[in-house]
Amino acid sequence: MRDIGCCTWIFGNEDLSAIAARATRAGLQGVEIHGDLSLDPVQAGRIFRDAGLRIFSITPGDADISHPDADLRAGALDYYRRMIDWADALGHDPRLGCHGLVQRIRPATTQDAEDGHLADSVAQICAWAGDRPVCFEILNRYESHQIRTVAEGLALLDRVGAANLFLLPDAYHMNIEEADPAAALRAGADRIGLYHLADNHRGAVGDGQIDFAAQLTALDDIAYGGPLIVEPAAPGPDPFRTDKGPGYRDRLEDILTRSVRAIRAMGH
């Protein structure tokens, strides 16, 4: 059976001990922790370890690593440099997530120039990370103007040329951008380092229209050995706001619990 985790950012600013308890009740084996560098990494690592959970990976905070302003870009890169040190202090040996500024959906200058800035920044992040895997997250067109498909992600990997750089496809985003998500996963093959999933409405696995059986079979075919990271949102408006009103964290816990059951029922 595959390890299954969830992103901690979905619970907003809830105490990490409470998040660990929710993850355990939902039947998860670990989490993808939000890269909130104000958290004490040693304490955070201990909380999840004491709960019997692993920290599989880190979701970065928003940092515009392709912005044309060199000072803004340098500040974004400094966040990643500090996040790498923070990851070392966490323990658990997590993979590092990486992406551009969420909600920037058009270039401020030209696409070519900003694609160049992105590649240069990702190369720098990979150099700082050393042997630690860096997984570039592929987002949809409503969240990013860069790297929206596995094919575009593979082109980025080729351009950067770092041995520790991999892709992070997400079933929810692929539902928008890929004509055949399972085929896209097979095309990514051993260059896929992490995988996120939620159904087409960002709800529980199996509650919507995505063919998860096909995607999980594709992951088997490419010998993907990483965890499945469930990243849902509670029902409600504003996809960029986690808090959907009273009780939203309980609803998220239920979504996670049902997602785990659905994945296990598919033999994974």
Q: To which residue do tokens 């692929």 refer?
A: 174
Which residues have a catalytic role annotated?
A: 137, 231
Cα 94 to Cα 33: distance, rounded to the nearest angstrom: 9
Backbone angles phi, psi at 257, to 5 degrees: -60, -45
Tokens of 239: 């996809």
Specify the pairing of strand 228-230 against strand 54-59: unpaired
| Residue 6 φ/ψ region, left for φ over 0, alpha for ψ in the -120 to 50 degree band, beta for the rest | beta
Q: What is d(CA 57, CA 81) in angstroms, rounded to the nearest whole number?
A: 16
Residue type present at position 173: H
User: How many whole angstroms separate alpha carbon 9 and alpha carbon 65?
Assistant: 21
Residues 43 and 116: their CA atoms lie apart, in Å, by: 38
Q: Would you say 245 and 193 are in contact if contact means Cβ atoms under 8 Å apart?
A: no
User: Would you tell me how many other CB atoms lie within 10 Å of the CB of residue 176?
Assistant: 16
Residue 69 structure tokens = 């302003």
